Amino acid sequence: MGKSLFDKVWDEHKVAALSETRDQLFIALHLVHEVTSPQAFQALRERGLPVKYPERTVATVDHIVPTEQQLVRPYGDSLAEEMLQALENNTRVFGLPFFGLDSAAQGIVHIIGPENGLTQPGMTIACGDSHTSTHGAFGAVAFGIGTSQVRDVLATQTLALERLQVRRIDVVGRRGLGVYAKDIILKIIATLGVKGGIGYAYEYGGPVIEALSMEERMTVCNMSIEGGARAGYINPDQTTFDYLQGRPFVPAGDDFAAAVRRWQAMTSDDDADYADRVTIDITGMAPQLTWGINPGQVTGIDEPLPEPDNCAEEERDGVRKAYEHMGFRPGRRLAGEPVDVAFVGSCTNGRLADFRAAATILKGRRVAPGVRALAVPGSRSVKRRAEEEGLDEIFRAAGFDWREPGCSLCLAMNPDKLSGRQLCASSSNRNFIGRQGAPLGRTLLMSPAMVAAAAVAGEVADVRDFLEGPR
């Protein structure tokens, strides 16, 4: 039996066995941000420990930064200012590279890793953020960790972990009009459930996945955690290598060719041993969106909402709670439901391709009256390149706010929040109650193009009505 990429990477980074089930795993790249790191740095201080390998660490600021007047310091929001200063201070004292607000490389941690070529195949990557799974798009083994583990990585560059099992997910079939990477991962989560991935790393493959661009692959891997899988990855191939070549932290010249050979050797063997295999056929699949309060409560835009009595018994309570919070009725369709807010951004869908996709819908159209529409690039680089293409003009002309980069309305730790019972068409990744900053606020997760369609229609809409081509 051959080995999966996951097992090859694990074995290469294993330092020691700590117990029968737990290994000490070396972390090749540690990404740090302002929210989950201050207590970890404090713990180092208390023990008088340095950061063990500063060269394997990089920090940025993304969660709490405002998306308006981002560079005007000190922030009026004193808690945000305190957190930013803590990270500025910690990175200085501990000698860590910091892509702060004065850096052209600043942005959401899961966007700047790949775009700077820090994220490379065959690496182990950890970050105090559950969407670290994003980096798996490059064939890295990447996962979110808690603050005590951030401390462990800072102090030792290692973690105490149990090996995950690997589930291979093949996505096959014909991708229809208006179906984006977001629709594919929502379908996967709906099919396997929000707890389906517990104990697993997901290896995504098959013809549909292989045909995805790197940006699309990142969207898929990003939401592995919404399916319960701590890590998700795609074997690196020519698409991966082409994306990486020439990026700042990627080896250049002959070293690049050598790196590609090494990366190729890390991919899963054809006869790799998987704990489980699943095939998902997306032929005929309509654009997907969530209707409830967890990311597995997904429906097609053309489908009626589920009857609680027809749901699996253990899901019924959750489904009832979702109807209660969302105010929708079983059996009806979401199309036509008025939306109050539209948000394009986040580490799921805040990359250049996402703004291009939304702009295709917005070009020559206007956001419906009464809809607050927000476009938040995932990084400074995304913002700059979008502006070079004139995308910002399209968004502005349509009536969107074009903002500075950050996490923004994905989790509302900055001033961007829903209010009251507002309904938000959102390209982010979580629809938990309160996630977007208002305890009664409501979130519908969907692709950036679907968000744009909802913004223009003023209600949940089928993006295919805005596109030309066979369905």
Partner 1 sequence: MSSQMSIIKRVEGRGLVLPGNDIDTDQIIPARFLRAITFAGLGEQVFRDERFDENGAPRPHPFNDERYHGAEILIVNTNFGCGSSREHAPQALLRFGIKAIVGESFAEIFAGNCAGIGLVVATMARPLVVDLQARVQRDPLLPLLVDIENLLFGCADERFPLAMNEAARAALLGGTWDSLEQLRRDDAAIERVHRRLPPFSTLLNADGQPL
Positions that interact with ligand SF4 (CB under 6 A): 62-63, 108, 110, 129, 131, 346-347, 407, 410-411, 428-429
Query: What span, in angstroms and rounded, lies between the C-alpha atoms of 301 and 178?
Result: 11
Site track 25-64 with partner 1 (rule: CB under 8 A), x = hit: -x-xx-----xx-xx--xx--xx----xxxxxxx----xx
Judged by beta carbon, residue 49 or residue 172, the one nearer partner 1 is 49
- Measure the CA–CA gap between 136 and 449, rounded to whole angstroms: 24
Q: Cα(332)–Cα(354) distance, rounded to whole angstroms?
A: 29
The annotated binding site for [4Fe-4S] cluster is made up of: 347, 407, 410
**For 163-286, where are the E strands, in sequence order?**
165-172, 200-205, 231-234, 276-281
Enumerate helices (H) and strands (E) in the chain, giving the number of each.
Answer: 16, 19
Among ligand SF4, partner 1, none, what binds residue 108 when CB lies within 5 to 8 Å by partner kind?
ligand SF4
Nearer CB in complex with ligand SF4: 106/346: 346
- The contact pattern for partner 1, residues 150-189, with x = CB under 8 A and - = no contact, is -xx--xxxxxxxx---------------------------
Q: What is the dihedral of CA 54, 58, 60, 63, to 10 degrees?
A: -100
From candidates 433, 449, 455, 456, binder to partner 1 by CB under 8 A: 433
Residue 12 CB-density burial (10 A; 0-12 exposed, 13-18 middle, 19+ buried): middle
Q: Is 335 in the site for partner 1 (CB under 8 A)?
A: no
Q: Which stretch binds partner 1 (CB under 8 A): 137-145, 168-176, 280-288, 329-337?
A: 137-145
Amino acid at position 225, single letter = I
Q: Name the binder of 17 from partner 1, ligand SF4, none, CB < 5-8 A by kind.
A: none
Reported residue count of the chain is 471
389, interface contact from ligand SF4, partner 1, none, CB < 5-8 Å by kind: none
Nearer to partner 1, 79 or 275 (CB): 79
The one of partner 1, ligand SF4, none whose footprint includes residue 2, by CB under 5 to 8 A per kind, is none
Q: Are 343 and 426 in contact (CB under 8 A)?
A: yes
**Residue type for 466, please?**
F
